[in-house]
Amino acid sequence: MAIGTTLKQPLNTSRQTQRHKPMQTEHLFPNATDLDRAANILLAGGLVAFATETVYGLGGDARNDHAVARIFAAKGRPRFNPLIVHVANLDQARRYGAFDARAMAVAAAFWPGPLTLVVPLRPDSGLSPLVTAELPSVAIRVPAHPVAQALLTAFGGPLAAPSANRSGRISPTRAAHVFDGLSGKIEAVLEGGTCSVGVESTILGLLGAPELLRPGGIDLETLEAMLGPLQTGGSAIKPSAPGQLASHYAPNASVTLNVTVNTAGAVHLGFGPDAPNCRSSLNLSPGADLIEAAANLFHLLREADLLAGPDGAITVAPIPENGLGRAINDRLRRAAAPRYL
């Protein structure tokens, strides 16, 4: 898309969205004008659901904390689990993940297609920490669907894209399914007909011995023909079990939640306006906006940890347990949990 292209309509990604006012979700079609529109929405931090060969994905700029926070909000996900990054080709994938000879061979054999590879995250990836849930790995896929390819090419960057359904609901395989669940919560749906595979991508872990992390569009036998027997049943890197992530997530400082009065020596992470007897050192969202707080969460926890210093203490203001507040509190509770290192 040309630099400096102007938007035909103002984007609805401002405070209005953050207050959860419904927006008009546009139905876009894969022609040049609409693809340009979709790319513009994404570049401005908006969300576009799009067809892939597996299921419709809910896409947002994987480098933009606010866009990624909005994905979690639109889906109503109660937890910040890591998201798959979609790119147009292997060259782009290599900007975000470290591909050794084995990963290169698997990518060459199965991309574009319904296979996601989990590889080490490049330190210079520039991806939002919300996308990887602060793991040192990244899940990447090059989808084959021509509409997904056209969108990724028009956008030119990485799209975080979980399935475009409300959390806990069935994955969408038609644009109408996406409208059913997400109408009024996202900027646009890019039409791509009915998804041919209809189940999610297979996820292959390539951090150690090859491991099947999720069965999906490419079957086990096909992968094993190339890689030999795959490990299954979960490993230390599998991020779906929260407990396994606890030590990776934990700051060095102690963390105390729901604090409304300053404690001497502690770095206070605020939410909303400060109370007279509780000044915050850092604030997740001075305007008490949960999407902004989610976008800031991982960065500010790290900053608070640095400010607190060795053996320091972090206190955190109460966060409402609704909307994205549930995912924020889930993450904070794990930061505050006892350490067993």
240 touches ligand AMP by CB under 6 A: yes
Q: Judged by CB under 6 A, which stretch of 76-84, 245-253, 263-271, 275-283 contacts ligand AMP?
A: 76-84
Distance, CA of 2 to CA of 275 (rounded, Å):
47
- 205 DSSP β-pair partners: 118, 211
**Integer CA distances (angstroms), 44 to 66, 228, 310, in order:** 10, 44, 39
Contacted entry of ligand AMP, Mg ion, none for residue 157, CB cut-off 5 to 8 Å set by kind: none
Considering only residues 127 through 186, tell me which ones interact with Mg ion, judged by CB under 5 A.
163
* Shortest Cβ 8–Mg ion spacing (Å): 31
Candidate residues 42, 49, 68, 84; the one interacting with ligand AMP per rule CB under 6 A:
84
Considering only residues 209 through 248, tell me which ones interact with Mg ion, judged by CB under 5 A.
none
Distance, CA of 135 to CA of 155 (rounded, Å):
25
* CB-based contacts of 252, cutoff 8 Å, min separation 6: 305, 308, 310, 311, 312
Cα 183 to chain center, whole Å?
20
Considering only residues 105 through 144, tell me which ones interact with ligand AMP, judged by CB under 6 A.
118, 132, 135, 137-139
Contacted entry of ligand AMP, Mg ion, none for residue 301, CB cut-off 5 to 8 Å set by kind: none
* Shortest Cβ 107–Mg ion spacing (Å): 23
Distance, CA of 24 to CA of 26 (rounded, Å):
6
Candidate residues 34, 65, 187, 200; the one interacting with ligand AMP per rule CB under 6 A:
200
Q: Which residue's CB is nearer to Mg ion, number 46 or number 172?
A: 172
213 touches ligand AMP by CB under 6 A: yes
Question: Is the CB of residue 184 less than 8 Å from the CB of residue 25?
Answer: yes
Q: Which residues of 143-162 are buried (b: 16+ CB within 10 A; e: fewer)?
A: bbbebbbbbbebbebbbbbb
Token digits of residue 101: 């000879």
Considering only residues 14 through 33, tell me which ones interact with ligand AMP, judged by CB under 6 A.
none
* Shortest Cβ 318–Mg ion spacing (Å): 30
Q: Which residue's CB is nearer to ligand AMP, number 45 or number 162?
A: 162
- 256 DSSP β-pair partners: 315
Coil, strand or helix at 33: helix
> Under the rule (CB under 6 A), what is the footprint of ligand AMP?
81-84, 118, 132, 135, 137-139, 162-163, 200, 203, 213-214, 237, 239-240
